[in-house]
Amino acid sequence: MLNVTINSQKLQVPEGSTILQAARQAGIKIPTLCNVEKREAIGACRVCLVEVEGARTLQASCSTPVSENMVVHTNSAPARAARRQVVELLLSEHDGDCPTCSRSLDCELRALADEMGVANVPFEGVRAKPHIDGSTPALVRDNAKCIKCRRCVSVCGEVQGVGALFPQGRGFQTVIGPAFTRDLDSVACVQCGQCAAICPVGAITEKTAIPQVWKAIENPKLHVVVQTAPAIRAALGECFGYEPGTRVTGKMAAALRRLGFDGVFDTNFTADLTILEEGTELLTRLKKALVDKLPVALPMFTSCSPGWINFAEFYFPQFLPNISTCKSPQQMFGAVAKSYYAQKIGRKPEEIVVVSVMPCTAKKFEAQRPEMSTNGVPDVDYVLTTRELAKMIKEAGIDFKSLPDEPMDAPLGLSSGAADIFANTGGVMEAALRTAYEIVTGRELPVDNLHVKAIAGLGGVKEAALTIEGAKKEWSFLEGVELKVAVSHGLGNTRRLLEHIKANGSPYHFIEVMTCPGGCIGGGGQPRFTDDSVRLKRISAIYSEDESKKMRKSHENPDIQTLYKEFLGRPLGEKSHHLLHTHYAHREK
């Protein structure tokens, strides 16, 4: 332990701590821009300058280690002046108009300018040449607003293991972006939006679908339904001043109804459907491998996360046969809404507009894939992020906090607790195990409160094993089999897992992959700002949503049972195959 004094507060910090970490430990706030949680500090932005007694110059607190008996002043006049100047310099090169910027409410640069009392910008800087990159369905990049903090570089390269964004050029000419300063569609970006989630300013954002959604709602000829992903209910509240981890399911449904949607439905419903399809697919693959001795692709990977699908198509095509053929719950919802539901209400598929609210930007990409349509009609028409939904609610003048709790509509709104936990890393696997174990043995998954602890939480790659005992007759080939599963979240972790499997083979039967750190609750479309403490709060909110329900297993959902009885027939049946399953193809980087 080292002794350090910060603003005359004496404290002890572990060796190797930076001044910034020490200050946080003491509850003292130092502003930062380029610093990214759990990544090595790059010391690029200088907005964290502090005064260290005995040092000739001010020090960047994020990258300066504490030494024994160091005396630090974070709030002295020179420190404040220097930090203000850094922000003034950034603003002098910044080409943005706050009132019309998509970040005006949560922009960190704007907030810093305010906190530091920037009253005017005394420098006349050269502004970057504006270039708007709208080349992808998911994201928009605006170079003129980029402050070159490189957070996106660190997230894309190190956390996601993609490396689409790098500083190009040098000095003032530097542009943060893809190779040859081209647009994002020229590189193998998976559209996860983690860059957009971490960007402090309006330089990377989702491509908005708000105008199209308003237009559809206002068109009386169209029947517009909305689905909300499991992760929205644990995060949307943050946009309205609630603490992270506040569940707002009921208010969300009420708000959607007041926005004018004709049906307020739930992606959770098709998450339950996914479990039945995907669980059956897994058991079928296992039967083919163990009984029929056929060469079938195992381990099977989950397919709900579209960034992961893009990642596999670009970087790991050898695993494409291993990915479940199930469409994601978002796409299954669209397909069911435009067939089963359309028939029920007597409308043609083309008269129904499906809007999704997703924690994810890659879902925007997924929705426009040509495979994701039935007879030429896209399953899903428009995808909004959590942040976009919050904007629409504000635009409509709805006072979110005073809304009553309302339920979702039938017949696509009822869901089990197993569907809720799709939002968390490890959740799809746990939901699948709850159902698969019960199908095979006729008994409930024998774990405490139905939670498979080993695969929950923020560990990078997690695994669990479960021995099947007392299998029913038709599943007797699984008797005594130790079912091995793995879970990874964040594509950097996933890359490590896949490289390991490539080199050493796989002991696993089933692997869940989620693109974003923490799972969908940490998606690229979620409210800013997301760090591990926020992730953990959203994760526990989702688990309590699950635990608050009586029905906690997908196969118990009566409306899913009705859907099979009235329409689909059986899991993996012909209708399912046509509507709910898809295929993947290698894409050149």
Active site includes 107? no
Count of residues of this chain found to bind ligand SF4 when the rule CB under 6 A is applied:
39
Q: Which of residues 170-189 bind other proteins (CB under 8 A)?
A: 170, 177-180, 187-188
Pick the closer one to ligand SF4 by CB: 52 or 195: 195
d(CA 136, CA 177): 14
Tell me: does residue 160 bind ligand SF4 (CB under 6 A): yes
Pick the closer one to ligand SF4 by CB: 138 or 560: 138
Contacts of 274 (CB under 8 A, 6+ apart): 304, 326, 328, 329, 332, 422, 428, 554
Pick the closer one to ligand FES by CB: 80 or 394: 80
Residue 465 near residue 480, CB atoms below 8 Å: no
Active site includes 313? no
Tell me: does residue 60 bind ligand FES (CB under 6 A): yes
Structure tokens, 453? 């602890």
Contacts of 485 (CB under 8 A, 6+ apart): 429, 433, 455, 463, 464, 465, 466, 508, 509, 510, 511, 512
Residue 463 near residue 487, CB atoms below 8 Å: yes
Tell me: does residue 271 bind other proteins (CB under 8 A): no
Residue 170, binding choice from ligand FES, other proteins, ligand SF4, none, Cβ under 5 to 8 Å by partner class? other proteins
x-or-dash string of contact with ligand FES, 17-56, rule CB under 6 A: ---------------xxxx-------xxxxxx--------
Residue 60, binding choice from ligand SF4, other proteins, ligand FES, none, Cβ under 5 to 8 Å by partner class? ligand FES
Instruction: Please identify, among the stretches 20-28, 138-146, 164-172, 407-415, the one whose residues bind other proteins according to the rule CB under 8 A.
Output: 164-172
Which of 51, 88, 108, 278 is an active site residue?
278
d(CA 194, CA 339): 34
Smallest distance, Å, CB 169 to ligand FES? 20
For 15, counting Cβ atoms within 10 Å of its Cβ (0-12 exposed, 13-18 middle, 19+ buried), the class is exposed
Residue 159 near residue 530, CB atoms below 8 Å: no
Residue type, 417: G
For 504, counting Cβ atoms within 10 Å of its Cβ (0-12 exposed, 13-18 middle, 19+ buried), the class is exposed
Pick the closer one to ligand SF4 by CB: 165 or 235: 165
Active site includes 278? yes
Q: Which of 91, 112, 164, 224 binds other proteins (CB under 8 A)?
A: 164
Residue the block writes with tokens 């170079």: 143
State the Rg of the chain over Cα: 25
Minimal CA–CA distance to 278: which of 266, 270, 289, 267?
A: 270
x-or-dash string of contact with ligand FES, 61-100, rule CB under 6 A: -x--------------------------------------
Smallest distance, Å, CB 92 to other proteins? 19
Pick the closer one to other proteins by CB: 221 or 589: 589
Which of 34, 152, 156, 304 is an active site residue?
304
d(CA 179, CA 191): 16
Active site includes 363? yes
Pick the closer one to other proteins by CB: 58 or 139: 139
Pick the closer one to ligand SF4 by CB: 139 or 342: 139
Residue 168, binding choice from other proteins, ligand FES, ligand SF4, none, Cβ under 5 to 8 Å by partner class? other proteins
Q: Is the peptide bond before 529 cis (omega within 30 degrees of 0)?
A: yes
d(CA 347, CA 32): 54
Query: Would you tell me which residues interact with ligand FES (CB under 6 A)?
Result: 32-35, 43-48, 60, 62
